[in-house]
Amino acid sequence: MAHATFRLACRPHVGDVRYHSIRAMTDPRGDAVIDRLRRSASDVISPATLKPNFKEIVLKTPVPPSQRLYALLSSMRFAVSLLTLLGVASIIGTVLKQNEPYSNYIVKFGQFWFELFEMLGLLDVYHASWFLIILLFLVISTSLCVVRNTPQMLKEWRVFKEHASEKSLRMFEHQATVSTSVPAATLQTQLSAYLTAERYTYKTQTQSNGDILIAAKLGTHQRLGYIFTHVAIVVICFGGLLDGNLPFKLQELMGLKKIETRDIPPREVPAESRLGTHNLSFRANMTLPEGERDNVSFVRVRDGYLVQDLPFTVALKDFRMEHYPTGMPKSFESDIVITDPERTTPIEATVKVNHPFIYKGIAIYQSDFQDGGSQLKFNLWDLTANTAPTSIEGEILRKGSLGDGASKMTVEFNEFRQFNILNLSADGKGKPHNVGPNTTLKLRNASGQAREYVYYMQPLQLDGHAYFVSGMRETVQEEFKYLRIPADDDFSLQGFMRLRSALREPKAMAEIAQRIAAQLPADNPTLKSQLAQSVQHLLHTFTQGGYSALSRTIEQAVPKDQREQAAQTYLKLLNRAAYEGLQLARAQQHLPPAGDDAATAAFVQDSLNAMNDLFFYGTPYYFQLTDYTLKQASGFQLTRSPGQNWVYLGSAMLVLGIFAMFYIRERRLWCLIKPAQQEVLLAMSSNRKSLDLDQDFARVKQQLGTWLLAQSAH
């Protein structure tokens, strides 16, 4: 009877072909089998005669494309390659901050790198199309690996291999023969007891020649580690796909959804830019001022957003924050009220950092806090006129206007911070401390150009003196350039503003010039008159252009080799004039004269420096924050993550699988009792060769050998 043996079962195909090794008997039936297989093959490799009654040929048949694709997708190499790509992508997603506003990336990396990162999808790696595709293929590949290998592994797990022959056992690397005179029945009983004590499970098979084979196994659950590990990868990736924005990607490709980029109220956002309450998964943000409520949140996507409708309404009842002694935030939490149309009573809850409240599968996290529309009061100083300040009010996140006509400016009140922790020590080694409130606003002219300003409410102690500090920058890419106006003895701006008005007013200029001229010791009216005119000209030049105007005057009127000396003279005269101006301004306000000391000199010099810096300040207005009514807003992150539990399950399975593969050692032990020869053949194998196997076999051989010798002696 003809028969065929496939020798290359472990190599299904090489490239696009499969090789079959066929052995058949040299009789009519065998020849018929060989001929039939020869006709079905695409090529035949030369036949060879093995024995007088057998011959063998190797047939080469093409592999169908579907089988080649299946072999590729189910191969371990393909799965490992995909897993490596995901690992690299995860590293990028960890190093590069994800899903930030595009303006932040442009400021940090520049236009070229921003466009490159955006094109490659690196700004939101975990929701990028290529990442989700890799994840999907990894699920398919790993699933096919499990389907392909699990049946064989389960078969190996269940089988005891009790039909092993003596010839095959003697070919094992770990095998030994032990002589004994113990009867076979007693020997079988004692060996069974030993295997049970060693936690082996075993099966006994009596062979046709009277030999008794005990096939035992230990640690075969290790094979479950492979299954658990691969199933865990599938489960984790499936959870990742559930929590990804794959449905939105598909809807966007079909034109059903569109990212909104306009700054419009949520109720005006069209349906194509909204996500329904039954959206499978999302990660959105909501900002609620105290006392307000909302039922929508915003999902940031690339350069725009989507509006995520909620099945309930969230109201912020109260926001609380604790601070360290330095003023830095210690903890913050929000009391919220959830109103659901399906419930008759509202739900009250407290949301803390890392302690979310979960309702209807949506987790509400406390993410941050910000201003919710604080009311601010200012003294507005018009720097173009010598007038008293006017009182104005503003509200954070609202706009106002100043002036009219071509000089009209829009004021955008952007931010208010009640606490500011700064290190103001000269060497930077001091302790940071709270310097009080500040506010940030933008002044935009009629042409749309804007400058950003920051104002500190309280004077800051810098270099041993108190200053009102204000910063200015023209673009968000720049650092703030700070204006420091010295505070007077009452820690107010009045002293500086009075001095500035005195140095700018023509009558005051003349009075200052006369006071300085009168201090000349010589009784020379002409000289005093010339000095008075020089002082007035000096003050006029400085008030029109600051130190730069004085420098130009010196360059035009003084020879080059005398300019440095002339500059020193001008500065001394300017400081003296400013001192007299200070005395005049205080006298007009019925205040006592300022002392002729270092403190007054420092105030005068700092005032002149501030007046000079005002020429580069970029606005004719100075906002002095005088009072505020704080209104805070709480920032929430709302997430629906149906894949989260799947990821947890997969992680637990992964831990179990790795533990099983690394810490459970599989052992198979055969004990062949040969009554006729009065010996026992021992053989041991494992699915992985290691030093532990050598040690285990040596231990088993020594224990059984010692016991058998002892039994034989009795």
Mean pLDDT of 140-167: 85
Tokens of 180: 């004994």
DSSP alpha helices (H): ranges in 558-639?
Answer: 563-588, 598-613
Q: What would the pLDDT profile of 599-645 be if each residue is shown by its tens digit?
A: 999 999 999 999 999 999 989 999 999 999 999 999 999 999 888 88
pLDDT, mean of residues 649-657? 91
Segments making up each domain of the chain, as ranges: 17-63, 159-219+665-713, 263-280+282-372+633-640, 496-625
Examine the pLDDT at 470 and tell me if it is beyond 90: yes
Statement: residue 86 has pLDDT above 90: no
Banded pLDDT at 396 (limits 50, 70, 90): very high
pLDDT in tens, 163-212: 888 888 998 989 999 888 888 888 888 889 889 988 999 999 998 888 99
Q: How high is the pLDDT of residue 503? A: 92
Q: Copy the structure tokens of residue 168.
A: 């095959």
DSSP H helices in 614-690: 644-663
* Residue 313 pLDDT greater than 60, yes or no: yes
The confidence band for 494, taking pLDDT boundaries of 50, 70 and 90, is very high
**How far apart are alpha carbons 318 and 372 in whole angstroms?**
12
Please compute the mean of the pLDDT values over residues 425-443 and round it to a whole number. 85
CB contact at 8 A, 516 and 577: yes
Residues 6+ positions from 386 with CB-CB distance below 8 Å: 500, 501, 504, 505
The answer to whether 476 touches 452, Cβ cutoff 8 Å, is yes
Query: Of the candidates 292, 420, 439, 460, which has an alpha carbon nearest to the alpha carbon of residue 376?
Result: 439
- Residue 360: predicted pLDDT: 92
Question: CA-to-CA distance for 399 and 395, rounded, in angstroms?
Answer: 8
**Residue 688 CB coordination number (10 Å):** 10
**Is the predicted pLDDT of residue 562 greater than 70, yes or no?**
yes
Residue 122 has pLDDT above 90, yes or no: no
Q: What is the pLDDT of residue 609?
A: 95
Say whether pLDDT at 397 is over 60. yes
Residue range 687-705, pLDDT digits in tens: 777 778 888 899 988 888 7
67 pLDDT above the threshold of 80: no
| Per-residue model confidence (pLDDT) at position 32 | 66
Give the range with max mean pLDDT: 108-112, 318-322, 466-470.
Answer: 466-470
Q: Determine the distance from the C-alpha atom of residue 530 to the mean position of all C-alpha atoms in its chain, rounded to a whole number.
A: 71
* pLDDT beyond 50 at 51: no
3-class secondary-structure state, position 536: helix
**What are phi and psi for residue 360, nearest 5 degrees?**
55, 40
Contact between 138 and 81 under an 8 Å Cβ cutoff? The reply is no
Residue 178 to residues 285, 357, 363, Cα–Cα distance (Å): 75, 69, 68
Which of the four pLDDT bands, split at 50, 70 and 90, describes residue 324?
Answer: confident
Torsion of CA 529, 530, 532, 534, to 10 degrees: 170
Residue 238 above 70 pLDDT?
yes
CA atoms within 13 A on the CB side of 174: 22
Backbone angles phi, psi at 428, to 5 degrees: 75, 10
- Give the rounded distance of the alpha carbon of 51 from its chain centre: 70
- Global pTM reads 0.65
Are 378 and 398 within 8 A, CB to CB? no
pLDDT band at 33 (very low <50, low <70, confident <90, very high): low
Give residue 50's pLDDT: 40
Share of the chain above pLDDT 70, in %: 90
- Parallel, antiparallel, or unpaired for β 304-323 and 274-275? parallel
CB 362 within 8 Å of CB 376: no
Q: Which CATH class is domain 159-219+665-713?
A: alpha beta
Inter-residue contact 438 to 421 (CB < 8 Å): no
End-to-end CA distance of the chain: 54
pLDDT on residue 39: 58
Specify whether the CB–CB gap between 336 and 364 falls below 8 A. Answer: yes
User: Between residues 56 and 653, which one has the greater pLDDT?
Assistant: 653
- Tokens representing residue 377 in the block: 């009061």
Reply yes or no on domain 263-280+282-372+633-640 having CATH 2.60.40.
no
Least reliable range by pLDDT among 41-55, 162-176, 417-431, 562-576: 41-55
Neighbours of 8 (CB within 10 A): 13
pLDDT tens readout for residues 338-364: 999 999 999 999 999 889 999 999 999
Whole-angstrom distance, CA of residue 422 vs CA of residue 714: 91
Name beta bridge partners: 318. Answer: 335
- What is the rounded average pLDDT of the residues 84-94? 87
